[in-house]
Amino acid sequence: ATQGTSAARSTKNYELDRSVRHVKNATGTLERLSVAVLINERAPTVTKNDKGEVTDSKPNPYSDEEITRMQDLVRGVVGYDEKRGDVVTVVQAKFEPEPVYDLSIPWYKDESMQTYIKSGLLGVMFLAFLMLVIRPAVLRMLGLLKTPAELEAEAAAAAEEEKKKLLADGELSPEDMNAIQLGEGETLEEIKAKLKPKKSSISMEMLDTANTYDDKVALVRMIVAEDTSRVASVLKKMIKLA
Q: How far does Cα 110 stand from its chain's mean position?
A: 26
31-52 tens-digit pLDDT = 899 999 999 988 888 777 777 7
Q: Domain limits of the chain?
A: 34-93, 107-142, 150-197, 199-242
pTM of the predicted protein model: 0.32
In the predicted model, what is the mean pLDDT of the chain? Answer: 74
Return the HEC string of the chain.
CCCCCCCCCCCCCCCCCCCCCCCCCCCCCCCCCEEEEEEECEEEEEEECCCCCEEEEEEECCCHHHHHHHHHHHHHHHCCCCCCCCEEEEEEECCCCCCCCCCCCCHHHCHHHHHHHHHHHHHHHHHHHHHHHHHHHHHHHHCCCCCHHHHHHHHHHHHHHHHHHHHHHCCCCHHHHHHCCCCCCCCHHHHHHHHCCCCCCCCHHHHHHCCCHHHHHHHHHHHHHHCHHHHHHHHHHHHHHC
Look at 155 and 67; give whichever has higher pLDDT: 67
**Euclidean distance between CA atoms 151 and 135, whole angstroms:** 18
Look at 4 and 109; give whichever has higher pLDDT: 109
Looking at residue 121, its pLDDT comes to: 93
Looking at residue 53, its pLDDT comes to: 77
What Rg, from alpha-carbon coordinates, does the chain have?
Answer: 54
- Overall average pLDDT of the 4-26 stretch: 78
**Euclidean distance between CA atoms 169 and 227, whole angstroms:** 15
CA angle at 100 for the pair 99 and 106, rounded to the nearest 5°: 125
Report whether 87 contacts 34 (CB < 8 A).
yes
91-114 tens-digit pLDDT = 998 888 777 766 677 777 778 888
Looking at residue 24, its pLDDT comes to: 83
Q: Which of 5-9, 105-109, 112-116, 157-161 has the highest mean pLDDT?
A: 112-116
**Euclidean distance between CA atoms 227 and 242, whole angstroms:** 23
Looking at residue 204, its pLDDT comes to: 52
Termini Cα distance of the chain: 164
Looking at residue 208, its pLDDT comes to: 59
**Euclidean distance between CA atoms 91 and 97, whole angstroms:** 18
Look at 185 and 20; give whichever has higher pLDDT: 20
Look at 26 and 191; give whichever has higher pLDDT: 26
Would the pLDDT of 140 be above 70? yes
Q: Is the dihedral of CA 232, 238, 241, 242 positive or negative?
A: negative
**Euclidean distance between CA atoms 38 and 226, whole angstroms:** 100
Looking at residue 42, its pLDDT comes to: 86
221-237 tens-digit pLDDT = 777 677 677 667 766 76
Residue 180: closest CA among 169, 191, 164, 168: 191
Of the pLDDT bands very low, low, confident and very high (cuts 50, 70, 90), residue 119 is very high
Look at 109 and 180; give whichever has higher pLDDT: 109
Look at 140 and 24; give whichever has higher pLDDT: 24
